[in-house]
Structure 1
Amino acid sequence: MYSTFMLVATIPTTVEWSPKVASIMIACNILAIAITKLVVGESSKETRLPQFSEMFGHLNIGAILGATSLGHIIGVGMILGIASTGML
């Protein structure tokens, strides 16, 4: 019983969703897509997104999913880091 109360006491509070949090996450995803574009280059034509090819730098579906996954990981770190300093 005592250990349960200690566990609840050590869980940090998280930031609520706001336009500031959304803008940080969007910026981190754009950064990750740009990094992926530099590293991967143009992908194969078979798996490209036909309608939004220019928007995502002519990357294929796998590269976009990987880039946005990396963007979310970077974004969560940025949001938690900025929130821990009290600036968010």
Structure 2
Amino acid sequence: MTYLTLNLLAAVPTTPVWSPSVALIMITANLFALVVARYGIQVKGVGPSLPVELPGLFAGFGLPELLAVTSFGHVLGAGLILGLAQAGLL
């Protein structure tokens, strides 16, 4: 292993343990992604539909939209959680 590899391995940020505040940040990030997608996705319902009927906030969403929105929400939430933990705010 090179010196650079050892430095990169030592630079791993601390990850917070699960707590209600971490869950609240993840839920908020997913809801924000859902609101953004609700107004941002122009062509909804292309592809397979969802197997169950969901509330009005998801109206017109198909399976690809739902997977994309929740994936974006989780990436956003993970970034927020790691960033807030590194800053000492979480």
TM-score normalised over the length of structure 1: 0.78
Amino acid at match of 1:25: M
Deviations 1:55-82 (A, max 9, x none): 4243111101000100011111111111
What percent identity do the matched residue pairs reach? 36
Write the distance in 2 (CA, Å) between the matches of 1:43 and 1:5.
47
Preserved contact between residue 42 and residue 58 of structure 1 (Cα < 8 Å): no
For structure 2, the residue ranges without an aligned partner over 5 or more in a row are none
Greater mean deviation of Cα atoms: 56-65 or 45-54 = 45-54
Structure 1 stretches of 4+ with a deviation exceeding 4 A read 1-8
Amino acid at match of 1:62: P
Deviations 1:14-69 (A, max 9, x none): 11111100100000001101111101157238743332142424311110100010
Q: Using the TM superposition, give the Cα deviation of residue 10 of structure 1 relative to its aligned residue in structure 2, in angstroms.
A: 2.9
Tell me if 1:27 matches 2:28: yes
Tell me how many residue pairs correspond in the alignment.
88
Query: Which residue does 1:73 correspond to in 2?
Result: 75
CA 1:45–1:7 in structure 2 vs 1: closer, same or farther (change >3 Å)?
closer
Preserved contact between residue 41 and residue 59 of structure 1 (Cα < 8 Å): no
Larger relative contact order (Cα-Cα within 8 Å, sequence gap ≥ 6): 2
Aligned CA-pair RMSD: 2.6
Query: Which residue does 1:60 correspond to in 2?
Result: 62
TM-score normalised over the length of structure 2: 0.76
What does residue range 41-60 of structure 1 map to in structure 2 within 5 Å?
41=42, 43-44=44-45, 47-49=48-50, 50-60=52-62
